[in-house]
C-alpha cells in the first residue's frame, strides 16, 4: 500500500474510481508506535532486551519465577516483542517490574560484564518512568481501535472515530480555549508552544506522576527536560494522524449520512458525490422518523446498520445505495484475526494445521447464532 510502486498504486492507475483504504486499525497502531519512538527511552528496546536476555537460559527463567514468588508478584511469561501488541507487552513488563529489578540486582555482574548495560538499563528508575507514561498515553488509541475491529459494517463511523481520536490526542496537550476557537481540528496550530498547556497540566498519567513524586529524585531543570521529552509524544502523534489518516477522504466523510442517529446533520451538498440523482429521496429521508422500538434496538447495538437500512423500504434507490456503501470494508481486522488463528501455539504444536483451520472456518460459516463466533 505504498505511494510509489505498490499493488495499490498499480490498481488505482488501472481503475482510478476504485475504493481503496489503508486499514485504520493498522494506521492507529503505527501512529502510537511512531509517537512512542520519539521518547528518550524506547519501549521496543526494553521489550527486546529483556526477552533475549532471559531467553538465553532456562535457569534464569526459573530464577525469575522464584524471585516473583519471593516478592509476592504473579509470575508472567515474558513475551517476544510484537509490532502489533507491543502495548500489552509493556503492561506485562510493568506488572513484573519488581521481579525483574530484584532478579537483575541479584545477578553477578562481574562474571557477566557484557550484560551489565542490560541490567543497568532495566533497573533504571527512568526506564520504568517512561514505560508508565507509554502505558498511560497509548490508552487513548485503544478505544477507537477496538471500535474499528467490529465485524458489523461500520463504514459510516470510520471518519467520525478517527476525528474523535485526533480530538482526544490534542486535548492532552493543547489548551482548551485554542481548540474551542479553532474552526476545525485540522486548522489547529498544534506545534505552537503558546497553544500548548504548561508542564503542570500536561497529561502524563496518574501512575507516572505518582511514580515521579515518590521514586525519582530530579532537580527542577531535569524535570523540565523530562516534560519536554514526554511532550514530544503528542505532537508526533498528531502530525502522523494529519499526514497519514484518511481524514479528507470524500467517501468516508459522506458515508456518515448512513448513520441514522446523525442523519439530520447532513445536507444534500455533503453527500452529492454519492447521490447525484437522488435529490427527492434524500430530502424525504432527512425528516424520517423510525419507530422507537427499532431505534432503541439500533442504539443498543442489537441492530446492525445494514439491517436498519433494509428496514427502511420507503426509498428503494437510496436504500440500494446505502447497502452498497455498507459493503465497503472499514478495516482488515477479520483477516488479521484469521492469520492469528494459524499462529495459535501450544506446547504440542507450533501452529494450526490446514485441516483444523478449514474445519474452524466451516464451523464459523455455518454458525447461525446472533452472538459473535470466535
pLDDT tens, residue by residue, 294-345: 555 555 555 566 666 555 666 565 666 666 666 666 677 666 666 666 666 6
pLDDT tens, residue by residue, 227-261: 889 999 999 999 999 999 988 887 777 776 666 66
Cell digits of residue 323? 447497502
**pLDDT of 29 strictly over 60:** yes
Of the two residues 48 and 336, the one the predictor is more confident about is: 48
Burial zone of 242 (CB within 10 Å; 0-12 exposed, 13-18 middle, 19+ buried)? middle
Amino acid at each position: 500500500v505504498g505511494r510509489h510502486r505498490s499493488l495499490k498504486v498499480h490498481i488505482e492507475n488501472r481503475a482510478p474510481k476504485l475504493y481503496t483504504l489503508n486499514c485504520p486499525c493498522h494506521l492507529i497502531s503505527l501512529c502510537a508506535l511512531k509517537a512512542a519512538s520519539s521518547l528518550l527511552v524506547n519501549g521496543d528496546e526494553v521489550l527486546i532486551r529483556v526477552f533475549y536476555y532471559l531467553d538465553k537460559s532456562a535457569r534464569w527463567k526459573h530464577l525469575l519465577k522464584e524471585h516473583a514468588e519471593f516478592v509476592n508478584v504473579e509470575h508472567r511469561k515474558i513475551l517476544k516483542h510484537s509490532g502489533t501488541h507491543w502495548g500489552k507487552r509493556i503492561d506485562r513488563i510493568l506488572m513484573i517490574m519488581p521481579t525483574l529489578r530484584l532478579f537483575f540486582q541479584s545477578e553477578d555482574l562481574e562474571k557477566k560484564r557484557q550484560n551489565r548495560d542490560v541490567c543497568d538499563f532495566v533497573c533504571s528508575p527512568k526506564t520504568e518512568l517512561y514505560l508508565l507514561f507509554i502505558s498511560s498515553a497509548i490508552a487513548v488509541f485503544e478505544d477507537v481501535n477496538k471500535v474499528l475491529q467490529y465485524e458489523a459494517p461500520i463504514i459510516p463511523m470510520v471518519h467520525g472515530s478517527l476525528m474523535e481520536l485526533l480530538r482526544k490526542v490534542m486535548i492532552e496537550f493543547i489548551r482548551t480555549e485554542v481548540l474551542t476557537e479553532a474552526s476545525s481540528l485540522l486548522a489547529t496550530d498544534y506545534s505552537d508552544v503558546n497553544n500548548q498547556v504548561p508542564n503542570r497540566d500536561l497529561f502524563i498519567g496518574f501512575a507516572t506522576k505518582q511514580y515521579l513524586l515518590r521514586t525519582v529524585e530530579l532537580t527542577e531543570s531535569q524535570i523540565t527536560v523530562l516534560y519536554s521529552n514526554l511532550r514530544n509524544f503528542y505532537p508526533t502523534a498528531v502530525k502522523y494522524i494529519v499526514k497519514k489518516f484518511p481524514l479528507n477522504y470524500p467517501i468516508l466523510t459522506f458515508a456518515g449520512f448512513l448513520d441514522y442517529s446523525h442523519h439530520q446533520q447532513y445536507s444534500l451538498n455533503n453527500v452529492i458525490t454519492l447521490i447525484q440523482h437522488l435529490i427527492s429521496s434524500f430530502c424525504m429521508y432527512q425528516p424520517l422518523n423510525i419507530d422507537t422500538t427499532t431505534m432503541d434496538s439500533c442504539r443498543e447495538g442489537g441492530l446492525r446498520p445494514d439491517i436498519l437500512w433494509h428496514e427502511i423500504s420507503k426509498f428503494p434507490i437510496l436504500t440500494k445505495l446505502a447497502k452498497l456503501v455498507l459493503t465497503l470494508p472499514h478495516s482488515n481486522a477479520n483477516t488479521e484475526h484469521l492469520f492469528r488463528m494459524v499462529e495459535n501455539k501450544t506446547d504440542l504444536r507450533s501452529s494450526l494445521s490446514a485441516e483444523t483451520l478449514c474445519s474452524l472456518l466451516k464451523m464459523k460459516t455455518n454458525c447461525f447464532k446472533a452472538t459473535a463466533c470466535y
